[in-house]
Structure 1
Amino acid sequence: MRSLAGWKILLVSLSLLMLATFARAFDLPQMPNMVGVGVGITTQCSGCKDTMVGAVPGVEYHGNGWLLEWYGPYAQIDFGEPGSHFRWGPALSVKLGRSDLDDPVLKRLPEINTTLEGGAFVGYELYQSGDIPYRVRLYANVLTNAGQVYDGVRGAFFSSVWVPASQRLLLGGGAGYAWASQSFMNTYYGIDEAASQASGLPMFTAHRGNQQVYGWLGGIYKIDNHWAVGAAVIDQYLIGSAGNSPIVTERGTASQLTYGVGVGYMW
């Protein structure tokens, strides 16, 4: 698989998350165990316009007093008490690097190594299991890789809502916002003198702060009590220094469209 982008949330991962969320809306508050796989198309790097195809796994597993959610490059362990609206716990993410690009100019920029990030998340959930069930999730997380590739932290606020269209079809949508430290922004969007000379792009210093906003729409179809399929599309729009980088303005695009499908088995 080619390298993926900054705060890229693969839609293939999102599709798997939707599969697990399906049971949340129809069998509250109990959630099933789930394993699945997703396939999707996304950009080769954050700000790139060239695309790639990727496949990722998804897992949701209930332990004794904890819940593992692992979708693509991101995983979290939820220690929130069963039945509580509040969720919290540690989070891990594989921050994929930048290499092997198709763009003849961007491929002359320095490669960025893939690195492991660690941090924590907090969240709040609202749910209704009456005649019209729904589930709303409000989450935030903060991650760092402790200086292996960048210094400082990056974080995000995101939300989702799911409502049933029928006994088998569930529709959802969501929105989010991401920010990052200057070291993160400059690593993935900055262009120093050496990179400028190699690529021909102007020098650029990326500053801390806003990185992107995004929104998504999706649907899940329940085949039977064990199998479900999902599909979704997400548009991530780079803002702040990320959107102003020559990587985006001269060779790429601020609108990072991703779409994919997934299938999951629940028990």
Structure 2
Amino acid sequence: MIDMSRPCMIKVLAGSALSLCAVVAMADDTLGLSESVYSVAAPEITQAPSGTASPWRFSVGAGVVNMPKFPGASGTKWEGVPTVSVNYDRFFIGSNPDAAALLSLGAYLYRDSNWRVGAAVTYDFIEPRSESDDARLNGLGDVKRTAHAELFGIYTYQFISARASVLTDIAGNGRGTVATFDVMGRYQPIPDLTLSAGPGLTWASSKYNETYFGVTSEQSARSGLPTFSAGAGLNQLRFSINGAYRIATHWNVGASVSFAWLRGDATDSPITEKTSQITYGLFVNYLF
């Protein structure tokens, strides 16, 4: 278990999570949020009167995000999101950037000065896709919120972090399985400002791609779009740029922008209007 009193561990916990900037890859389908959620919302290590680190960490905040109306959309929408989290030792609930989720319940299975490995159950905060989002979706039906089981691992060495995850739909709502890999480099020009940037990719199962990019015969009849079958494979490449600034002892503000490019069958889907996607957000958090 991590010695939470060590300054280097505080630095790792407070600023080394990756940007998971896909528009369509993981639990919330709002992955441009993840690095900003972590940079802004990572709970501080509070000291107990005895001088030992408290196992409790809290964060309360919110953000606004501009994101595509649906995976492959040309139009965008605004969403408000919470960044509320409670951590007790290795257990967490609420927003957790390591799990890339706004709603999560999980635990770290292993932690040391370089590694964080964990498991979580997550749930979508934002509706993944609704017919009412855009006229192009008429007749395709809604993509429902669902619960996911996830395994994730983060390796940090100096200013570089690498994150991998696998998560799968455990509620039977057709969301399939996705695997992600991201690398992030961090830079602190001044002590209170953290900048980060890096690439990532997402692999998606045929079930996931069929749900978001496939068109069944029934959907074709209702929507007028041609039928289309989407198989498993590389789904997306991405690059993100993020910043977080400590404006006071317990207050952080942050911003994030991610650029994503659909790949594989997602690019050929009749649902897809635009293969390049941009997500950006602004956040503020109180840490205690």
Q: TM-score, normalised by structure 1?
A: 0.82
Q: Which amino acid aligns with 2:165?
A: N
2:167 corresponding residue in structure 1: 143
Q: 2:212 aligns with which of 182, 188, 198?
A: 188
Choose 6-15 or 152-161, whichever is displaced more: 6-15
Deviation at 1:33, TM superposition (A): 4.1
2:128 corresponding residue in structure 1: 97
Q: 2:281 aligns with which of 243, 256, 260?
A: 260
Answer whether contact 2:33 2:281 (CA < 8 A) is retained. Answer: yes
**Within 1, Cα distance between the matches of 2:221 and 2:116?**
48
Q: SS at 1:187's partner residue? A: helix
Q: SS at 1:19's partner residue? A: helix
2:141 corresponding residue in structure 1: 110
CA shift in 2, pair 1:34/1:238, >3 Å: same
Deviation at 1:86, TM superposition (A): 1.6
2:32 corresponding residue in structure 1: 11
Aligned Cα RMSD in Å? 2.7
| Percent sequence identity over aligned pairs | 30
Answer whether contact 2:43 2:59 (CA < 8 A) is retained. Answer: no
Deviation at 1:151, TM superposition (A): 6.8
Answer whether contact 1:16 1:263 (CA < 8 A) is retained. Answer: no
CA shift in 2, pair 1:67/1:163, >3 Å: farther
**Within 1, Cα distance between the matches of 2:67 and 2:122?**
18
Task: Map Cα deviations across residues 160-217 of structure 1 (whole Å, 9 max, x no partner).
Answer: 2221111322211122111111111111110111111222211110010111111110
Q: Which amino acid aligns with 2:135?
A: P
2:8 corresponding residue in structure 1: none
Q: 2:235 aligns with which of 211, 215, 230?
A: 211
Deviation at 1:116, TM superposition (A): 1.0
Deviation at 1:64, TM superposition (A): 2.7
Deviation at 1:242, TM superposition (A): 1.3
Choose 145-154 or 107-116, whichever is displaced more: 145-154
Task: Map Cα deviations across residues 88-135 of structure 1 (whole Å, 9 max, x no partner).
Answer: 1112333443214343232221222211111211221123xxxxxx3x
CA shift in 2, pair 1:36/1:18, >3 Å: same
1:45 corresponding residue in structure 2: 70
2:107 corresponding residue in structure 1: 77
Q: Which amino acid aligns with 2:108?
A: D
**Within 2, Cα distance between the matches of 1:155 and 1:172?**
22
CA shift in 2, pair 1:147/1:207, >3 Å: farther
Q: SS at 2:38's partner residue? A: helix
Q: SS at 2:227's partner residue? A: coil
Q: Which amino acid aligns with 2:107?
A: I
Equivalences, count: 248
Q: TM-score, normalised by structure 2?
A: 0.77
2:180 corresponding residue in structure 1: 156
Answer whether contact 1:12 1:56 (CA < 8 A) is retained. Answer: no
Does residue 36 in structure 1 map to residue 61 in structure 2?
A: yes
Answer whether contact 1:201 1:246 (CA < 8 A) is retained. Answer: yes
Unaligned runs of 5+ in 2: 1-22, 46-53
Answer whether contact 1:66 1:79 (CA < 8 A) is retained. Answer: no
Choose 53-62 or 205-214, whichever is displaced more: 53-62
CA shift in 2, pair 1:241/1:57, >3 Å: same
**Within 2, Cα distance between the matches of 1:172 and 1:116?**
30
